Amino acid sequence: MERYIGKVVQLIYIDRHRNVTIRDVRVLSVKGGRMKGYCFSAQAIRIFSQENVVDIELVRRHA
């Protein structure tokens, strides 16, 4: 996941309530199994557990 630092990715993610969500995130850092990023849907910085990431894809352009 380190290769995505500074880039916008689309995550398919399972949150702590076991809900599957799709989020666009600008990756800020990756450390200790966690990814810190700016979540565009929440309009805030969030921490994502890497083990809960189902899929990750680079977003070529973000509006």
Judged against a pLDDT cut of 70, whether residue 36 lies above it is answered with: yes
Q: Which domains does the chain have, with CATH numbers?
A: 2-58 (2.30.30)
Rounded to the nearest 5 degrees, what angle is found at the Cα of 31, between the Cα atoms of 26 and 36? 25
Contact call for residues 48 and 41 (beta carbons, < 8 A): no
Categorize the per-residue pLDDT at 23 as very low, low, confident or very high, splitting at 50, 70 and 90: very high
Return the pLDDT at 63: 54
Asked whether residue 14 carries a pLDDT value surpassing 60, the answer given is yes
Q: Is pLDDT larger for residue 16 or for residue 55?
A: 55
